Structure 1
């Protein structure tokens, strides 16, 4: 990376006591600290190396409005769109052709109205969809996408979920006045909704519903997640919870707990956060090669990246990244991962400059300017 924005990562080992309990008690862990540093300016070519472009098919049956969540597994791409279709759409990871979609149609068996997030259980070939509004968790066969069964929740409307082991489910709940879990936000339950263990003492920030709908992800066979308004990544293993990574951003921070304690009104709290220079709304993408974090400060979108091989980091404002790769003036902000690659997205409709990249030009012959986006698979420099 270019010397004007490279900051060598501050990585050191700290022995910490994680402030949480589980069925097996307190958990000690070794924490890696990643300081992304203060915001820098840079060019696209100093951040990423593009491996390939993939235009997603556009037709009346598969036109979508947003990518709220994206997962790549084997030869398929699964993405959630809550803006236009309220569906999980499936495309070929090879040529971008549309395969199938599961869309909200009602409240009957196997139906949902408002999908919040999904999870792919790679161990048994299942796809789960959470409808938070209807408090439903539905299971589908990953290959055929046929409905199989409904999983009973331990309480209404969890913020997020994952499937750590076959037959067990892990949920992330908001802090509520009539709390069933004694102030714990992470609840492990079986398919009948019976609570097996709890973890993570809720802070005052736990009452604010403002964060990534899919904060859980699989990494190295373990489950990892980043709670709302937290700079820590936790790992769930053997029914216990531990911090495995702490993130810093130079002189910029997330809101202090005192901000959340000032008022019981969520609107007042969010107005203060939105009017200040606090970091909020984190999206964490991690694989063996990289860690990437999207976040907002007021109304501006930022990106922090950490190249695990070189130990180099960067922290940039998305709109300020200079496009010297000829991508129409845009930067492909990450929306998911594919093995050791990050996956970004480019909307042709949003492009402000002429496309120069020969590879992107070639793939645009298959794309519709007002249709679905082009996915960009890339490495960090």
Structure 2
């Protein structure tokens, strides 16, 4: 078969060799039922209460990024962007929904260009990209030539455009790397209509630290975790779930019929020493922490945790939204915080109950109101 490409478009080579194998012998976490103390694993942590500053309330955090000491949040309910400093003070809110040239029909995705200090919003409904500065002012817009469902900034003016098997894209590649002019495209992961019938869902996650971003991609039916840079795609990790690996001939509609296969490997985030990843098996979401230094694994949701007079019991097994400066970032609703403050102390005797209620972090949570914005939790793991 001959594949013809214009001079401005090239087919990239995916480097498969060199991936680090991670074997999960028991995806259900059955061998990890021994009781443990959360205090043995959680190190430093702090909360960020997100100010509403008037009527700036959000409904649901669709996506969160942290860069340049700014927290960027896309709220799916109001379809707007919130920018906060690290103290939770609202910097600005972007409400650009409309039909004008610098307005969006929907925020499908966003990314942060940390080199030029700008927010890049993807709207594939009106086929455009809108640029904002960190004060929420419009810089301009670009026409979206490469239909995409996701976008991320890779550095040096390069972006990754990801098409989630959407037939609106005519180039039949899942991943394309280019600049905002969308010329000189480097394309990866071709797909056909036949594969589309089975490959309806894929995973797209971001790994952030304090200075830059590395994009990770795990295609469906492929347990390789690929790193994506401004000019290459390479296998970083391979997840081996043994007999629970998803067969190539398995279709999505049969997941409920055949529940013992691992699928939907997300979220995926990592610090310098810990890789955190989630997946679904038997209709349940798992969250695993993998120590990159010694290979040890910690199943956060399947371990029997001992009750301790500490607030970490509340957030530890939540899905992770981001990484920042070796902290994992999770979130809690104000309702769940209020319930925790109200009921959790009753699980202890008098002395431990008082110890919990005297904890400054517990007192901080006790001030949360049920109509507040979500509370972010930044935490580090100890070595295990």
Does TM, scored on the shorter chain, surpass 0.5? yes
2:326 aligned with 1:340: yes
Mapped to 2, the partners of 1:51 and 1:328 lie a distance apart of 9
Q: Match for 1:147 among 113, 124, 138? A: 138
Aligned mate of 2:262, from 252, 274, 279? 279
Structure 2 Cα separation of the partners of residues 122 and 36 of structure 1: 36
1:138 aligns with 2:125: no
Match of 1:13 in 2: none
SS of residue paired to 1:361? helix
Alignment of 1:304 with 2:294, yes or no, is no
Selected match of 1:118 from 106, 110, 125: 110
For each residue in 1:318-366, what CA deviation from the matched residue of structure 2 results, as whole angstroms up to 9, or x when unmatched? 7965553533863342221111111122224124532536133222254
Flag the 1:209–1:43 CA change in 2: closer, same or farther, 3 A.
farther
Aligned in 2, Cα 1:379/1:184: closer, same or farther, shift over 3 Å?
same
Q: 1:32 aligns with which of 20, 24, 28?
A: 20
The answer (yes or no) to whether the contact 1:162–1:170 under 8 Å persists in 2 is yes
Aligned to 1:378, the other structure's residue is in SS state strand
Say if 1:160 and 1:215, in contact at 8 Å, map to a contact too.
Answer: no
Per the alignment, residue 18 of structure 1 pairs with none
CA distance in 2, matches of 1:221, 1:118: 16
Aligned to 1:265: none
Match of 1:231 among 215, 223, 227: 223
Structure 1 alignment gaps of length 5 or more: 1-20, 261-268
| Number of equivalences | 345
Q: CA deviation at 1:257?
A: 2.2
1:314 matched to 2:298: yes
Say whether residues 1:53 and 2:82 are aligned partners: no
Note closer, same or farther for the CA distance 1:63–1:297 as it changes in structure 2 (3 Å cut): farther
Which residue among 142, 151, 156 is the counterpart of 1:161? 151
Inter-partner Cα distance in structure 1 for 2:212 and 2:179:
20
Residue matched to 2:58? 64
- Secondary structure, counterpart of 1:280 in structure 2: coil
Q: What's the offset of the Cα at 1:240?
A: 2.5
What's the TM-score once normalised by structure 1's chain length?
0.78
- 2:249 counterpart SS class: helix
- Identify the residue that residue 369 of structure 2 maps to in structure 1: 368
Residue 79 (structure 2) aligns with: 86
In 2, distance between residues paired with 1:365 and 1:226? 39
Instruction: Give 5+ residue unaligned stretches, structure 2.
Output: 1-8, 346-355
Aligned-residue offset at 1:167: 3.8
Measured against aligned partners, the alpha-carbon deviations of 1:42-69 in whole angstroms (never above 9, x if no partner) come to 5533442242222222455322122222
Q: 1:209 to 1:146 in 2, by over 3 A?
A: farther
Note closer, same or farther for the CA distance 1:371–1:221 as it changes in structure 2 (3 Å cut): closer
Is 1:186 the counterpart of 2:175? The answer is yes
Deviation at 1:284, TM superposition (A): 1.0
Q: Deviations over 1:116-144 (max 9, x none)?
A: 222111122121112243333221113x2
Structure 1 or 2: more strand by fraction:
1
Q: Which of structures 1 and 2 has the bigger CA Rg? A: 2
TM-score where L is the length of structure 2: 0.78
CA-CA distance at 1:114 after TM superposition: 2.1
Q: Secondary structure at the match of 1:257?
A: coil
* Selected match of 2:248 from 239, 252, 257: 257
- Per the alignment, residue 77 of structure 1 pairs with 71
Tell me how large the CA RMSD over aligned residues is.
Answer: 3.1
Structure 2 SS opposite 1:379: strand
Quick one: structure 1 residues 31 and 223, their matched pair in 2 at CA, closer, same or farther if it must change by over 3 Å?
same
Distance 1:25 1:149 in 2: 33
Query: 1:133/1:256 Cα in 2 relative to 1: closer, same or farther (>3 Å)?
Result: farther
| Offset at residue 178 of structure 1 (A) | 7.3
> CA contact under 8 A between 2:111 and 2:153: conserved in structure 1?
yes
Match of 1:378 in 2: 379
Note if contact 1:91-1:99 (Cα within 8 Å) is conserved in structure 2.
Answer: yes
Aligned mates of 2:307, 2:322 — CA distance in 1: 21
8 Å CA contact 1:154–1:195 kept in 2: the answer is: no
